[in-house]
Amino acid sequence: MKIWWISRTPADRRFDKFTPGESPILKRMQLKGHQVHSYCIEPVRVPNVYVSYALAILRFPFRFRGSRPDVIVTNCIESAVACVMMKWLFNVPFVFHFIDDYSLIASYSRRRLKDMRVALLRMLERCIPVLADLVIVVSDELKKFCLDAGVPEGKVRMVENGVDTELFKPGGGHESIRDRLGLSGGKVILFRGKLNRYYRIELIIRAIPMVLREFPNTKLLLIGDGDNVDKLKLLSRELGIVDSLLFVEFQPQEKLSQYINVSDICVYPLSNSGALAMLEYASCAKPTILPRVGTRKLGPSHELIRRNCVLLVENSPEGFAKGMKFLLRNEERAEEMGRKARKIVVKSYDLNILASQYERALQQVLK
């Protein structure tokens, strides 16, 4: 099978580091013998960022007039517009990999004309799945959203996110990281991901003073980058917890598991239990805290939730603090949650398992 994976360059170049050439599942499909080619939509050089991306999307399909892939795939809503054009112009099957709440993410942007972009993305979130030949969703909430938008049930397939369980696995031997970061002798709470407004990291930071009253040697470790780092650092100074908060720059996949393994508890401030970070935490057998409330497209419906491998808390600083203190007080319970989560991920969410599901979904389109 000849697969084209279409992506786009992030408007904020700091997020280049979070954007792989193609999805990890498609990399596994390459190992199965399929041809996977990655193409990135680069913005045209004009002053306005929205115009630059619009022009790039419109001209992108014409770069490949002579090429004939078997199927084109994207998980980016803007790139999907180019994919729909390629489908119509060259009669190529198009698969939309629906992975996120795109309009909600855009609503946290500080860019000009933000409201217009959010409205456009809301429209595209309903139109693109209908126009695609197949929609692969990563959660029950996204499946329901597609069905409500008018996508026939036969065109929606569930393939949840997965993780490399050999790369992300429990293990010590990372005392050098603890020593270098000054983490020895205390408890470590960790978040890894984009440090932007959408992830609401401030809820976790505001919880830390409440945790420190009972566990004064606790450190919060934030691994990543984003447009909200300066404000988060300012907040830590206002709360008087600068010494208890550590910012670590983005880490590549091969090193990320080492940082996760120095932690005692992991947190994810969005109710998206199928998020990649959540699965990485679980694969490293770390107990994880997640807010109970979700959105229309994302929510706590994952098997890890149903099997009580994740601690659900109120979506507030007080809720996160209560969950952190509960797990720090009950170390045996926390370790049991982590071990159970690891078993579930290895059994059901390893990338090799999910690659076979993805392969069958794409073959359905070709049939």
Domains 2-162+351-366 and 175-348 share a fold: yes
Confidence at 84, pLDDT banded by 50, 70, 90? very high
Nearest-angstrom CA–CA distance, 3 and 70: 6
Residue in this structure with the two tokens 């790369």, named with its chain if needed = 167
Q: What is the pLDDT of residues 86-134, one digit of tens each?
A: 999 889 999 999 998 888 888 887 766 678 889 999 999 999 999 999 9
For 175-348, give the CATH class. alpha beta
Q: Which of 273, 285, 167, 177 is nearest to 223 (CA)?
A: 177
pLDDT of residue 273: 64
Q: What is the pLDDT of residues 15-33, one digit of tens each?
A: 555 544 457 888 888 888 8
**CB burial class (10 A; 0-12, 13-18, 19+) of residue 25?**
buried
pLDDT of residue 202: 95
For 2-162+351-366, give the CATH class. alpha beta
Q: CA angle 285-289-293, nearest 5°?
A: 135
Q: What is the pLDDT of residues 223-270, one digit of tens each?
A: 999 889 999 999 999 999 999 999 999 888 888 999 999 999 999 998
Q: Where are the domains of the chain?
A: 2-162+351-366, 175-348
Mean pLDDT, all residues of the chain: 88
Q: What is the pLDDT of residues 60-81, one digit of tens each?
A: 887 777 678 999 999 999 899 9
State the pTM of this model.
0.89
Percent of the chain predicted with pLDDT > 70: 92
Residue in this structure with the two tokens 């420190």, named with its chain if needed = 212
